[in-house]
Amino acid sequence: MRPMLDDLELLQVQEITTLDRRAVAEHKPPGLDGSVLQNLGRRPTRLTLWGVATGPEALKFIEQLNDKYRAGQPLAFTADIVADAEIEKMIIDDLQTQDLAGKPERFAYALTLREHIEPVEPESAPGLDADILGDALGQLDNLMAGLEVIQQLSDVVSRLAALTQSLQQQSKQL
């Protein structure tokens, strides 16, 4: 099976390598010797491949590859090496191209692909009261009304303080 990236057949692929990493967390229980390892699953698979495009369509192939890289969208990828890994979509992380000097219509390319894993939709919480937001907004309205009353009281207090000062000055003059 020839490697395919979306609708583009990857020409004359010379080498494909994969990198799979497992995420493991180590926990050390207090007061005990040793540790417990927790398997957190695997990281997205990375794949590096390089090849050569030759012939009159080589430049067009490189341009199509570059367009897919710049789009940054997940692409379908098929190859023998990842058939058992159940990888469906890959994102082009890195693209390197080289026009081979002295050899007309010949380009070398290297791709680094990363597995694209669709984010999981969060589960809904069935026991949650749907009107909590309405209650919170009602309490916020009450709080705002209370703040307005405090502002009005502050104005009254400042006026009373000014009146008291004025009365005290007038009583000193008498």
Using the CB atoms, write b or e for 31-65: b if 16+ within 10 Å.
Answer: eeeeeeeeeeeeeebbbebbbbbbeeebeebbeeb
pTM above 0.75, yes or no: no
**At residue 10, what is the residue type?**
L
Contact 109, 98 (CB under 8 A): yes
What's the pLDDT at 112? 94
Series of mean pLDDT values for 10-residue runs along the chain (174 residues): 86 88 89 88 89 93 95 88 76 94 90 89 69 78 86 86 85 78
